[in-house]
């Protein structure tokens, strides 16, 4: 590949880790971003390098006002201009309209919406004129199946879904912007094993996706030269679940 350099936010853990490793296997030099998980990030970097790839662990607090500028500068210094940005890092904390706080709202909006958008801005600014690039935002199937649960998180991801389309318009033709919307992929810190199993089995296909399937979807969109502004749901059909009490009523 011609000096393809990927920045994966949240690349040290969970889905981001699998995405970073998959991109390394595909020949990308990978900037593995981490917030506090330095040891895990270094392990990912070591795995990519052991397989013959190039990688660097890069720290940034995505809630900080200048996170996008600082993270981009560190990535460019370590590996070169970013040609693939994967906004994988997310803050996923429960709240409700009645109980949410300004601090919680601000932090989730910063990590899940503001910094991803400004990272795309910075990527475009640093991309050489003779190069094309791609941005892939990791969303959530709930942007297509809204509920009032996880209120701030849902609104931040819905905003990023809209930004996926508007950035695709703004950054064309040199930069394509797409998104992947996962369903239940890995158990959250609040879920029991049984709860996670029930959540996956309730999806239309009877199971949620694996992290490897999410990574494969990212790689597909990264290389699909004629696709932009699209959201690919990889969720076992969770967003299509339609059996609710009202559908059981005779009409």
C-alpha 40: how far from its chain's center? Answer: 18
Pick the closest to residue 53 from 32, 73, 37, 29 (CA basis). Answer: 29
Let me know: does 172 contact 156? Beta carbons within 8 Å.
no
- Angle 179-181-182 (CA atoms, 0-180°, nearest 5)? 140
How many Å separate Cα 243 from the centre of its chain? 29
Integer Cα distance of 189 and 170 in angstroms: 37
Alpha-carbon distance of 169 to 147, in angstroms, equals 28
Whether omega for the bond prior to residue 173 falls within 30 degrees of 0, making it cis, is yes
Instruction: Clarify whether 153 is annotated catalytic.
Output: yes
Report d(CA 17, CA 14) in Å as an integer.
5
Task: Give the HSE-up count for residue 143: Cα atoms under 13 Å, Cβ half-sphere.
Answer: 23
Q: Of residues 28, 34, 150, 153, which has the active-site annotation?
A: 153
CB-based burial label for 185 (10 Å; 0-12, 13-18, 19+)? buried
Q: Which residues are catalytic?
A: 153
């Amino acid at each position: 590949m011609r000096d393809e350099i990927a920045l994966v936010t949240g690349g040290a853990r969970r889905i981001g880790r699998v995405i970073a490793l998959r991109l390394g296997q595909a020949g990308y030099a990978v900037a593995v971003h981490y917030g506090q998980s330095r040891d895990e990030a270094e392990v990912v970097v070591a795995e990519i390098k052991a397989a013959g790839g190039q990688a660097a662990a890069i720290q940034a607090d995505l809630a900080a006002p200048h996170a996008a500028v600082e993270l981009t500068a560190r990535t460019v210094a370590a590996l070169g201009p970013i040609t693939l940005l994967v906004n994988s890092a997310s803050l996923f904390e429960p709240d409700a309209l009645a109980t949410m706080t300004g601090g919680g709202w601000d932090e989730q909006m910063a990590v899940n919406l503001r910094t991803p958008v400004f990272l795309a801005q910075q990527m475009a600014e640093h991309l050489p004129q003779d190069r094309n690039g791609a941005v892939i935002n990791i969303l959530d199937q709930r942007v297509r199946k809204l509920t009032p649960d996880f209120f701030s998180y849902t609104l931040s991801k819905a905003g990023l879904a809209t930004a996926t389309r508007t950035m695709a318009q703004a950054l064309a033709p040199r930069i394509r912007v797409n998104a992947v919307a996962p369903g239940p992929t890995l158990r959250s810190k609040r879920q029991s094993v049984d709860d996670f199993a029930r959540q996956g089995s309730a999806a239309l296909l009877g199971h949620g996706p694996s992290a490897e399937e999410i990574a494969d979807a990212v790689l597909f969109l990264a290389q699909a030269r004629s696709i932009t502004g699209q959201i690919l749901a990889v969720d076992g059909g969770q967003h299509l679940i339609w059996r609710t009490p009202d559908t059981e009523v005779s009409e």
